[in-house]
Structure 1
């Protein structure tokens, strides 16, 4: 589906780029940011302790712009998710926040499209999109997966579908999420984008999951999160689900959300509390409770795997 530009969006955007030993591919990403159709942005690069030339590259890039347009700052050095969550404190009043990975290449219309989509959905707090999966040399391999929706709290509690490298948050979503982020950082949630999907939907804001591919997503050995559209990748994720890793991620997410539950809608608070209780129950009883809550993944196979893992006791929170 091609992108058709509708007109100028009156907004300002803070781009938050997470950096850690990313010098090899950083120049291409910085150049793609410079080439955006939407020009009213500033860039903050949060370096999480790089030992390569990445920070120096950012400084040289900053010299091309007026003072304050590009800034290098020190990250919390607690991993990628904490680094990105720390960026919620950076936007000024009225600014949007667009998250950026160090080794992608943005298509020129990326920011403009996100803002147009958000402008068309006043209820929405979070925009995300599909990507073009590429090899290490940026040769396209395949589009990332498309999901049918709906994208809501019942899905967000059990599945991450808002790719962090495409996420753009509205000022209203930022104001709420920055209050809840310290709890998520303290819990070391597995994925900042998953937690953002949970929190923003739980707070009553709409979620946009655009079917357009907005960036080139480079795949290489150093990727923290790889593609999930191939059979080996799907088998690996299924293995994580039944090995107990996924259950641990659920528990950390629940604890992080519970610590900031006063920011969620009352109905989301109730769903979260019931979900937390369900995770303490024996497998069959847990599965029954999950079904009563209407929790679901984006495909029938994924939902079936979720309930199979619950019945097998792989999601249970160990008390005591």
Structure 2
């Protein structure tokens, strides 16, 4: 079966139903984008990332950098680009110093940053020139008051820029019951609208989460927002020895995940996500709350009852092997 050009999840929250004010793609609205770039000792590849941002076909952007205490030449590179670009196109602020996920949440919730759309950026990737244009084309299909999130596949490159493959192609539906047990979008591909940004702010910047991108998928899908998954890669995702998070492809990665399953790592991740979701439970729609409660019941049960509650929750992963692993994790108290 041939995959569509993009997948979109449009499960509506009660607050978002029966809306007819859906703007058409190609709206004349300019769409100012705040690119939220988090850095930490990124001197090796930062200039290439900034150059790729400068080459975007959608020109209405500003870059806000949150640096988490770099001790190399990162800040010097940023100052040079700020002077070269001028006109307030790049500004730098101090990060919270609590790791990459906290840094992204902190800058996303910064009240001083205002735009129509927001894009997360890593310091070592290269954006394809149409990344922002492709994202905004899809995000404009959603009503402005509905949280909407765009993400895409990635073209993998090595530290020298050579292309080494693609990220997985996900073909099952995108939504909350998938998000509970799997993240399908890399934060370095994610762009979201102002309604989604307001949702992040309501949830808060001080949550203890696994990763900012998985949290974005959980949060936006959980309230009934729109999720756009683009099967066409929009960035060159660099794989190198200092990556905090690399690609999720390959046999070695799959074996590593099996080991994490039996060591309780997956269960710990789920516990963090559930605690964060419970803190904003009132924002979730009824269907998401029901799935969350059934999933919690599966984790709390024993024996065959675990599988019964897991089935009732409706959770699933994108691949056959992933779902077999999910069943195994459930049987061995790994969720």
Counterpart Cα distance in 2 of 1:283 and 1:18: 44
Aligned ranges for residues 172-191 of structure 1 at < 5 Å? 172-182=195-205, 185-187=206-208, 189-191=209-211
**Equivalent residue number for residue 213 of structure 1:** 233
Structure 1, 21-30 or 8-17: larger mean CA deviation: 8-17
**Equivalent residue number for residue 318 of structure 1:** none
**Equivalent residue number for residue 151 of structure 2:** 128
Residues 154 and 235 of structure 2 are in contact (CA less than 8 Å); yes or no, is this contact kept in structure 1? yes
Aligned ranges for residues 141-152 of structure 1 at < 5 Å? 141-152=164-175
Aligned mate of 1:112, from 119, 130, 133: 133
TM-score, scaled to structure 1: 0.92
**Equivalent residue number for residue 244 of structure 2:** 224
User: Relative contact order: is structure 1 or structure 2 higher (C-alpha 8 Å, sep ≥ 6)?
Assistant: 2
CA RMSD after TM alignment: 2.0
Deviation of 1:206 (Å) = 1.4
Residues 202 and 268 of structure 1 are in contact (CA less than 8 Å); yes or no, is this contact kept in structure 2? yes
Counterpart Cα distance in 2 of 1:8 and 1:119: 11
Counterpart Cα distance in 1 of 2:289 and 2:55: 42
* Match status 1:73 vs 2:93: yes
* Match status 1:101 vs 2:101: no
Residues 132 and 142 of structure 1 are in contact (CA less than 8 Å); yes or no, is this contact kept in structure 2? yes
Deviating 4+ runs (over 4 angstroms): 5-9, 91-94
Structure 1, 245-254 or 8-17: larger mean CA deviation: 8-17
Alignment gaps of 5+ in structure 2: 7-24
Aligned ranges for residues 151-162 of structure 1 at < 5 Å? 151-162=174-185
Counterpart Cα distance in 1 of 2:204 and 2:266: 21
Deviation of 1:52 (Å) = 0.7
TM-score, scaled to structure 2: 0.88
Deviation of 1:95 (Å) = 2.1
Counterpart Cα distance in 2 of 1:265 and 1:137: 45
**Equivalent residue number for residue 43 of structure 1:** 63
- Cα distance per residue 1:52-107 (max 9 Å; x no partner): 11011111100123343211111111111111111222374552110000000001
Alignment gaps of 5+ in structure 1: 316-320
